[in-house]
Chains A and B, each alone.
Chain A
Amino acid sequence: MSQKQKKSNSRLWFLVHSWLALPIWFFVLIVSFTGTLAVVSQEIVWLANPDVRASKPSDDAVPLSFQQTLEAIHKAQPQVAVDFISKPDESHFAYEASVTYPDGRSPTLYINPYTGVIQGESPSFNFQAFTRALHGWWLVPFTNGYSWGWYLVSLLGLPMLASLVTGLVVYKKFWKGFLRPTLRVSHGPRIFWGDLHRLSGIWSIWFIAVISITGTWFLIQAILADNHVTLSTEPIVPVISREDVPRTPNGEPAQRIDLDEAERVAIQQLPGLEVSFITLPGSAYNHLYLGGRGWYPLMFQTANINPYNGKVEAKFLVSDRSATEIVTESMRPLHTGDFGGIWIKLIWAFFGLVLTLMVLSGLLIWTKRTAQATAAALKRKPRAKLSASADTTTEASA
């Protein structure tokens, strides 16, 4: 390839890179920013709402078991029906119990893990759910399969991946940037934003790759689901058979095993299972459903226990997954950074902010340079050919 041709190719790549996010830059910016917020939404709620914090009354205080928590709730509020209890991954969060009141309201209660005191009830505005809904599907409701907002957001994975690839192509010998980081602050804003864009770009290669690949997976996941294709090997657990649910001559509800007994049975029969949540049976014919993260922190392992005889009637462990599932099920935690505690979340949030800044700095560079460069290139080249390539890229991103 001649030197001249090489140069014009790289100019083309450069144009493609410059135009990828442009017509929708503000949308991309908000998606990056809300994604960043969503990663640390649980922590933001922790800062804002003292009810969700787990304060230890004394150094030797021991956290309550599931059954103790259930009893504490019933003692404080005998009328309330509990359907789910979870012990969050990190010890600075209160236990959560989703409950229903006799008037039908079903909030989440925050329970002190040591004293069992009900510290508060989830407010009607759920910040975590809202940031996730805004980031994940642009608030477009799910009415028939996946929401079109989900498609809109997850489609961004493709131009993002393309930005990464074209960015590395146009940034000649980008690996040198690791050894000699440059950030010139006194050469005017164009140079500064350009340096910042390249510097944050090379340090975020891995992050942009992870987010764009997992984001594209969300697109594939929606396409599969909307075409009724499932990759799941998770067993569909039938309700408990009629014969196994005791009939009580006195008309009282049949005795169920307590939650700690269920946890004990599950751990004993399924070595490696850790229990961080329990869903109580939704009817006389439903199982206790319990689970938690296993040795592979990106996945949850679960078991269904018959609440009358304590038998494990279904299980879904890491070892039960197909190879495909191990990959596809890892996508979501990789995207959200929720698999190894606060430090991983903070790293994800930091790079999320860097990514948001890259969208912003990319726009600033564009306003200062690409507009002129495009005009110049269009003048130099036969008009038809170049405008065709520019149009395809912009439309693919929109």
Chain B
Amino acid sequence: MTPEMKGFLLLAVLKMVVVFTVVMVGVALLTLMERKVSAWMQNRRGPNRVGFAGLLQPAADGVKNIVKEETYPAEANSFLFILAPALAFIPAMCLSAVIPWAAPVDISLDRTLPLLGHVRYDGRMAMAVADLPIGFLFVLAVSSLGVYGIALAGWSSNSKYSLLGGLRSSAQMISYEVAMGMSLIPLLILVGNASFGDVIKAQQDGLWFILPLTLSFFVFLVAGFAETNRLPFDLPEAESELIAGYHTEYSAMKFSLFFIAEYANMVTVSAMLATLFFGGWDIPGTSWDQNGSTLAAVATGAAMFLKTFFFLFFFMWIRWTLPRFRYDQLMALGWKFLIPLALVYLMIIAVAVWILEAVVGIADPKIKALILFGMNAVMCYVVFFILDRGTLVSGSYRRQVPANVGS
């Protein structure tokens, strides 16, 4: 094996270990954060018994879940029953591999290490485990694999609640997957490439995509909530209706895996939102963050962390504020509103970009983005104020005065 290859593999393994550890520890702390945020919103204190300010609560929960008894429902399909949590967990973990967590770093490594021998790495290293050229397409593809875990969990549990939860989940994920993919095509038009590196580069040249592609952001945000099964889209779990939905029959660590998968998905969607629409690791108004130094990597990593953290908080904020949709309203929102909106928006952006580039001939990405931003302001006004917001979620029922009122 050549020293270059060894160097590449060594760094890849290092990145993998670091990202996996950070995500797992992050997920554990997120469970604590969720409880603290909810407590804050509900005039409570939240967990504060284990460790300082409850910081060891996730560790206590972890220990509890590991030593708890594993129960299996009678007549469950035990192979699929055990496989399902893993199927939900693995894609959630894979996703964090492609997110660029910081600016690329210049690395020159040339030394002899014990056991490994001579390793060498020269050049710019992306701060993602795998900087795939297919970028967010990989995320879309793998995130939809998670539904297998949930659907199989619901089916193999041999419980009606679980089955309904699993069915709801598969229908929901498939529906919102379409809207999610469709909302990203305008991005593809502007960037011309699906890799995360290029997406961030395009935002540094022009504006953060939240401005020129505002409606894409909203569609992606809503679809992201639905993809992670968080309230107001937590119908697969729907505590008050289906007990706990697809994981009703799960206990101990198998339940924990679903839990970790949900939070890991939240991290991924938050990081995606930050990367695709808020400039990723970009620190606005500066260019020194691209010079490849370690300092730049640390600073951009912090910027990325802050943006992701904001969206994680946003997820929790929404969860503890809104009620839950009904199943048919969820489908109506997805199919009757989000998908047509994303389609129309896609066509408008495509035509606008064609006019700007081919007919008018504007080359400067900043001016292009500003013009698109103006268009988006108008479209947002139309969508959010002229299309009545009440009609967006109204389901199959219509409110009408009963004939004999007052009689």
Are A and B associated in one complex? no
A interface residues (Cβ-Cβ under 8 A, vs B): none
B interface residues (Cβ-Cβ under 8 A, vs A): none
